[in-house]
Every structure is written in structure tokens, then in C-alpha cells.
Amino acid sequence: MAKRVFFVTGTDTDAGKTVVSAGLLQAGNNRQWKTLGLKPIAAGCEQTDAGLRNSDALILQQTASVNMSYDQVNPVSFAEPIAPHIAALHEGRQLNADRVAAYCRGALLQSADLVVIEGAGGWRVPLNNRETLAALPRSLQLPVIMVVGMKLGCINHALLTAESIARDGLQLAGWVANCIDPDMASYDENLATLKTMLRAPLLGEVPRLAQASPEIVANYLDLDMLPVQ
């Protein structure tokens, strides 16, 4: 089976990237695919006896069917829950896209049918004063899955993100509508507008869930809409 590798971005912080990324991995598991999840950069980690650990990265590690060490899943971690370039500055460290891409390439040597690489924040989150996180999927030439946090203002955020992805020469392979605000006014009209204006397939709608486990979220996602690379 051909390997499918995707970079998952969001229209904003807390758009639901991890919820959707884990759901995609579980949907692959349900098909008996070998799945692999990566969170190359994570800011907002807890100190444990084993080192810094990020809850989102742990979810991806635990959901994926391919066993990998935590450091392979999340090679760059910061304690502070802030923009990665600022966290790096506070710790006297340097971030650059080439180094992070090298970590990812190493992990991609693993045999897998579906690989999900989750970003941090939105598409233009800085890595340093010259690069944004968008340089990572550009370096790896990955198609992108965009998670749209369905709330007031989501149309503007989604269209701007889609334009940026296209400007960077990458394919928007699909998008997921993830309900952030269960009381969002005119939800159906907003969704219809996005379906009309985004030139990519809608992979699924994830409602506001009391328990957004990967097993439950997978039921709302359609892997058949994803391109095979």
C-alpha cells in the first residue's frame, strides 16, 4: 500500500489539530493500516522522570500503531506553553526548519501506510526571525490537511490559511470542520460557504464532543477522500 504522509495545520491555536490528527490515525488503524504520528515541535510540556512530555504528542504516540519512542515522536519540546520561537529564546536554544525536517525524515524511514505530522499553532507560527513553521512541510513537500475551528471568524482564517498554503506551493489535500463553539450562529451557512470557497475536499465534520477520543472522532472522518502519494 502506498504511503500517505500529511502535515496537519490549523486555522488558529486550539483549532483541534490533535483531536483530528489522532482521529485520522485511528481511522487508519480501523482499516488495519500501519499508522505513525509525529509532533515535531511541542511547546507546553510537563517535566516528568522521563523528561519533558507534551499531552498532544503522547496522544499521537499512543494512538499510532507503529511503536516509536517519545523522542522520535516529539524531538523538540519546550516547557512554556507559548510560541515556539519565544520558548526557544527563553531557553537559549535555536530553532530552524532544516534540523526539524531532518528529525522527520529519520522517522519517515519507518514503514507506515499513513503518517500524520502535526504542526504547532497556525500556518505562520515563527520558528525564528526568518522562518515560519510552514518551512517544514515545504522542505518535506507534504500535502496539507487543514483543521478549521468552527467559530465566529473561521471563514476568514480558513481562506487566508488556504491561500498561504497555495502560495507556499503545497497542496491542500483536504480540510476538517471541527466545532469549537457549539453555539456558533449560522453554523450551516458558514460550513456551506467554506465548502464552496475552499478548493479541497471536506474530510469530515467533528461535532463538539463530551469525550473527543480518537475512537469517536475517527467515525466522523473519511479517509477515502485523501490522495494517495
Residues tagged active-site: 39
Q: Is the CB of residue 42 less than 8 Å from the CB of residue 78?
A: yes
Q: No. of H helices and E strands in the chain?
A: 9, 10
Q: Which helix (H) or strand (E) holds 122?
A: strand 114-122
Cell matching residue 172: 491542500
Instruction: Please compute, for residue 126, the number of CA atoms within 13 A of its CA located in the half-sphere on the CB side.
Output: 11
Dist. CA 195–CA 105, nearest whole Å: 33
Angle at 118 between CA 115 and CA 121, to 5 degrees: 165
What are the φ/ψ torsions at residue 91 (nearest 5 degrees)?
-100, 5
Residue with cell string 467515525: 219
